[in-house]
A and B are shown apart, each in its own frame.
Chain A
Amino acid sequence: MKTIGRILIILLVFSLVMGMTYTIVNAGSSNSATTGPAFGRGDGERPEFPGGVRDDGRGFGFGSGLRMILGGIKNSVIIGVIVALVVIPKNRLRKKKRDAQEVTA
Chain B
Amino acid sequence: MLQNETKNRSQTKIKLWIDVIIFIAFLIAMEPHASGITVHEWLATSLIAVLIVHLLLSWDWITNITRRFMRKINSTSRINYILNWLLFIDGTVIMLSGFMISESLMPFLGIQLPIGFAWRRLHDTSANIFIVLLGLHTALHWNWIVDTFKRYVFLPLAKLAPRISKKDIPA
Contact = CB atoms under 8 A, between A and B. Distances in A.
A46 B115 contact: yes
Classify the interface of chain A: helix, strand, loop or mixed: helix
A21 B88 CA distance: 13
Contacts of B112: 44
A55 to B, nearest CB: 5
Interface residues of B, number: 45
A47 B116 contact: yes
A75 B30 CA distance: 8
A14 B92 CA distance: 6
B118 A60 contact: no
Interface residues of A, number: 46
A44 B136 CA distance: 38
Interface string A47-91: 101000011111010001101100110011011111101110010
Nearest to B31: A71
B108 interface: no
A58 B36 CA distance: 6
Interface in B102-130: 103, 112, 114-120, 122
Contacts of B95: 18
A45 B117 CA distance: 11
A26 B95 CA distance: 16
B34 A57 contact: yes
Contacts of B8: none
Given A7-B52, A10-B52, A17-B88, A44 B30 contact: no
Interface of A: 3, 6-7, 10-11, 13-14, 17-18, 21-22, 25, 28-29, 32, 39, 43-47, 49, 54-58, 60, 64-65, 67-68, 71-72, 75-76, 78-83, 85-87, 90
Interface of B: 27-28, 30-40, 48, 52, 55-56, 59, 88-89, 92-93, 95-97, 101, 103, 112, 114-120, 122, 131-132, 134-136, 138-140, 142
27 contacts: A13-B88, A14-B48, A17-B92, A21-B92, A21-B97, A25-B116, A29-B116, A32-B118, A46-B115, A47-B117, A47-B120, A56-B37, A57-B32, A57-B38, A64-B34, A68-B35, A71-B30, A71-B34, A75-B131, A79-B134, A79-B135, A79-B138, A80-B135, A81-B135, A82-B135, A82-B136, A82-B139
Given A49-B120, A60-B35, 15 more contacts: A3-B56, A10-B55, A10-B56, A18-B96, A21-B92, A21-B93, A29-B118, A57-B32, A60-B36, A67-B31, A67-B33, A78-B131, A79-B134, A82-B135, A86-B136
